Amino acid sequence: MMQNLDQLTTSELKRYLSEHRNDEEAFRSALQILINRRDPNSPRQPYPFDLDDPESEVEAILREKLNQSE
């Protein structure tokens, strides 16, 4: 049974993500809705599934964040 994810509150959506973390299709659908709800003025990080080389690009993002905090 597929819930209408658009109708869930943010807290319910996060719980749904936690409960369906091993179901890639359900997780991806819920995560996309959650991402779309974010404030458009907040700093944006790329969605890992949309990156050409997720491992190295995410690593570069994390290194940059670590360098900023030093």
Residue pair 5/30 in contact by the 8 Å Cβ criterion: yes
- The total domain count for the chain is 2
Q: Are residues 3 and 28 in the same domain?
A: yes
Integer Cα distance of 35 and 59 in angstroms: 21
Q: Are residues 53 and 68 in the same domain?
A: yes
Q: Are residues 31 and 57 in the same domain?
A: no
Q: Are residues 30 and 59 in the same domain?
A: no
Residue numbers of the domain that contains 62: 44-70
State percent of the chain over pLDDT 90.
Answer: 40
Q: Are residues 34 and 1 in the same domain?
A: yes
16-32: pLDDT as tens digits: 999 999 999 999 999 99
Q: Are residues 48 and 27 in the same domain?
A: no
pTM, two decimal places? 0.54
Q: Are residues 2 and 21 in the same domain?
A: yes
